[in-house]
C-alpha cells in the first residue's frame, strides 16, 4: 500500500519552528477511480489559463489520468511534430508561509517532469522541480529555480538562478518515486528539499523595486513540457519513445501543502 502524505514526516527544519496543518484544498493523494467532483473542486484539468504550452508542447486534458492511486501525466505525439502533454493546475492559490511537496516518479522522456508554482498574472514563478528524464546527468537531478517575468515585452528579469541536486546514491529519478519540496518562507526566502533533506536555501533577488518580492499567491502546476530551447537543438521525443509505456508517463503518488497551525512564523526563535 502506498503511503498517504499524512504518514510522511515533514522535514525537521519545519517541525522545529512549530506545528503545521494540511491545506486540504491544495493536497491530494489521488486515490480516485475517475476525475470526479472532488477532483474538479481542487484542480483545473488544464494550465492556469488557456495557454497550450511552450515550444512543441500541447497541453491536453486527455493526458492526465487517475489510475491505481496515482495521477499519471502522459505524453503522446500530436502530428506531425508536436507533443500532447498532461497538465493539472490548482484552483486555489498558496501564499507563504507554506510547505509544498510532491511525491512523484518522473517520466523517462526527453520532456521535463515538473512541479511548479506561478502567479495568476504569470509574473512570479517558483520551480520546485524540473527534471529531464532522458539525460545522462540531468535525469538524476532535482532542478530548482525561480523567475520574475516582465510580460510586455516578454523578459525573464531573473535569469540563471537554476540549481540542481542529486538524491542519495545518485539514482535516476525515473526509476522510483522521490519527494520534491519547497518551504516558501516569505517574499524573499524559499528552502528546497529532496526526499526530506534540505538542499537549497534561496534568497530571491527582486529586480523590479525594493520590497516587492514574491508577494502574491501562486497557483500549483503539475505537468510535463517540451521546451523550445531543446527542440530547436533537436532534443524532443521520437515517436517510438512516446509510444513506450515504460518511459512515457510521469507518476504522482500525492501532493501536499502545509500551513502553520498558529501564526508562528512571526515568533523569533
Kindly list the catalytic residues.
Answer: 125, 130
- Distance between CA 189 and CA 172 in Å, rounded? 29
User: Count H helices, E strands: the chain?
Assistant: 4, 18
Q: How far apart (Å, rounded) are the C-alpha atoms in residues 14 and 192? A: 12
Could you report how far apart the first and last alpha carbons of the chain are, in Å?
Answer: 39
Q: In this structure, is the dihedral angle defined by the CA atoms of residues 14, 20, 24 and 25, taken in order, positive or negative?
A: negative
Cα–Cα nearest to 178, from 168, 187, 163:
168
The 10 Å Cβ neighbour count of residue 41 is 10
Q: Is 101 exposed, middle or buried (0-12, 13-18, 19+ CB in 10 A)?
A: buried
Q: What sections of the chain are H helices per DSSP?
A: 12-15, 37-42, 228-231, 239-243
Residue whose C-alpha is closest to residue 148's, from 130, 164, 161? 161
Q: Which of 121, 147, 115 is nearest to 48 (CA)?
A: 121
Cis amide bond preceding 208, omega within 30 = no
Query: DSSP code of 151?
Result: T
Amino acid at each position: 500500500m502506498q503511503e498517504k502524505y499524512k504518514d510522511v514526516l515533514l522535514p525537521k527544519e519545519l517541525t522545529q519552528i512549530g506545528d503545521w496543518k494540511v491545506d486540504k484544498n491544495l493536497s491530494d493523494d489521488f486515490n480516485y477511480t475517475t476525475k470526479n467532483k472532488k477532483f474538479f473542486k481542487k484542480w483545473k484539468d488544464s494550465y492556469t489559463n488557456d495557454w497550450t504550452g511552450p515550444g512543441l508542447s500541447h497541453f491536453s486534458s486527455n493526458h492526465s489520468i487517475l489510475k491505481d492511486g496515482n495521477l499519471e501525466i502522459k505524453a503522446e505525439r500530436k502530428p506531425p511534430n508536436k507533443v500532447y502533454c498532461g497538465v493539472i493546475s490548482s484552483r486555489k492559490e498558496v501564499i507563504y508561509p507554506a510547505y509544498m511537496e510532491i511525491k512523484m516518479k518522473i517520466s523517462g522522456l526527453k520532456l521535463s517532469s515538473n512541479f511548479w508554482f506561478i502567479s495568476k498574472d504569470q509574473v512570479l514563478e517558483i520551480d520546485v522541480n524540473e527534471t529531464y528524464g532522458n539525460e545522462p546527468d540531468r535525469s538524476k537531478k532535482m532542478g530548482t529555480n525561480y523567475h520574475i517575468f516582465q510580460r510586455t515585452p516578454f523578459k525573464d528579469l531573473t535569469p540563471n538562478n537554476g540549481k540542481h541536486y542529486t538524491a542519495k546514491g545518485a539514482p535516476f529519478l525515473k526509476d522510483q518515486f522521490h519527494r520534491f519540496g519547497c518551504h516558501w518562507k516569505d517574499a524573499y526566502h524559499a528552502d528546497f528539499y529532496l526526499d526530506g533533506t534540505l538542499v537549497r536555501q534561496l534568497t530571491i533577488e527582486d529586480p523590479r523595486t525594493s520590497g516587492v518580492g514574491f508577494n502574491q499567491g501562486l497557483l500549483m502546476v503539475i505537468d510535463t513540457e517540451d521546451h523550445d530551447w531543446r527542440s530547436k537543438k533537436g532534443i524532443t521525443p521520437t515517436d517510438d519513445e512516446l509510444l513506450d509505456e515504460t518511459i512515457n508517463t510521469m507518476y504522482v503518488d500525492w501532493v501536499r501543502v502545509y500551513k502553520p497551525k498558529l501564526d508562528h512564523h512571526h515568533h523569533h526563535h
